[in-house]
Structure 1
Amino acid sequence: MSSRPDPDALGFVLIDVARMLRSAFERRIASAGLGLTPGEARTLVRIASLEGSRQFDIARRMGIEPMTLSTYLDRLQSLGLIERRPDPADRRAKLIFTTPAASALITGIRTEQLDLMQQVTSGIGADELAQIHGRLKLLRANLSALEEDDAALTLARETGR
């Protein structure tokens, strides 16, 4: 085994593809004339998929800091695209919902996403694409389990258990 890293190793390829896909998505959103930044667009789509979730949970699922999310939420709320409602189970927490005004923008973002993915997956058959999708979901689940294990270990260390 060589001591030199292989830039075509699976982990490096996944990181490269994720970075390039995010960059391509951000360019499309920026040029689509939707009136949202790429971060706001990602946030709006995530809220729509997690309708009624807590701010903290949305930030965690997006992999961003809660304060970064809060900035996006402030802007989306000022545009009338989302609303924050008190969480009946925890009065300190807020639940986030899209408003009817967000529907057209979500459709626009989704159109850009689908068009981009059509380009990105060009030359890959439907069966192959379904396999890739399934395997990536498995990788995501495995990584999620690792994160949960790491969080449990950290909590155990902090509480002395």
Structure 2
Amino acid sequence: MNPNTFGFAMTDLTRLMRNLFKKRFKDQALTMAQARALYYIARFEGIRQVELADMLEIKPISLVRIIDLLMEAELIERRPDPKDRRAYQLYPSPTAQPILDEILRVIQSIQQDALAGLSENEIATLSAAFQKMRNNLTSL
């Protein structure tokens, strides 16, 4: 088996970036799982818990504790879903903004480090290729 396959490189890159995020975000009160959930809630305001669990690749029951902790910290709000009275939608609270700013700062610093030495043209090509790949796989 060739360890230099594209998939292996992508997986390794993702692992390295996640580890670096944990290292740079360690002084915050949130765990990596909580930070990821909060970031996705802010990015997809109004997302339902089942959809969020799917995006985070965890079971909905595992997400409940994360959501409860984020609510206890007053970082998110649950609101009734107007389309389904049994469901709730998730929104970031106004008090979440400083933490979201810090998450974004850490993400941007990691991205800057990962792209060091690449030209603007190489970065644009890489971004376009990733977008095409995402589109290809999303349509399957």
TM-score, normalising length: structure 1: 0.82
3-state SS of 2:65 partner: helix
Equivalence for 1:13: 9
Unmatched 5+ stretches in structure 2: none
Unmatched 5+ stretches in structure 1: 147-161
Counterpart amino acid of residue 13 in structure 1 = A
Structure with the greater relative contact order (CA < 8 A, sep ≥ 6): 1 or 2?
2
- Separation in 2, partners of 1:17, 1:8: 12
Which among 69, 72, 76 is matched to residue 75 of structure 1?
69
Contact kept in structure 2, 1:80 and 1:99, CA below 8 Å: yes
- Separation in 2, partners of 1:104, 1:61: 23
Root-mean-square deviation (CA, aligned residues, Å) is 1.2
| 2:56 maps to 1:62 | yes
79 and 34 in structure 1: CA distance in 2 versus 1, 3 angstrom threshold: same
| 2:32 maps to 1:43 | no
Equivalence for 1:108: 102
3-state SS of 2:3 partner: coil
Equivalence for 1:126: 120
Cα deviation for residue 137 of structure 1 reads: 2.0
Count of aligned pairs between the two proteins: 140
Cα deviation for residue 43 of structure 1 reads: 0.8
- Separation in 1, partners of 2:109, 2:11: 22
Equivalence for 1:154: none
Counterpart amino acid of residue 105 in structure 1 = I
134 and 117 in structure 1: CA distance in 2 versus 1, 3 angstrom threshold: same
Higher alpha-carbon Rg: 1
14 and 37 in structure 1: CA distance in 2 versus 1, 3 angstrom threshold: same
Alignment deviations for residues 93-118 of structure 1 (CA, whole Å, 9 cap, x no partner) = 11000000000100011011111111
Identity over aligned pairs, percent: 34
Counterpart amino acid of residue 25 in structure 1 = F
3-state SS of 1:68 partner: helix
3-state SS of 2:28 partner: coil
TM-score, normalising length: structure 2: 0.93
Cα deviation for residue 52 of structure 1 reads: 0.9
Counterpart amino acid of residue 40 in structure 1 = Q
- Separation in 2, partners of 1:126, 1:71: 42
Cα deviation for residue 58 of structure 1 reads: 1.4
Cα deviation for residue 69 of structure 1 reads: 1.9
Cα deviation for residue 26 of structure 1 reads: 1.8
Counterpart amino acid of residue 118 in structure 1 = Q
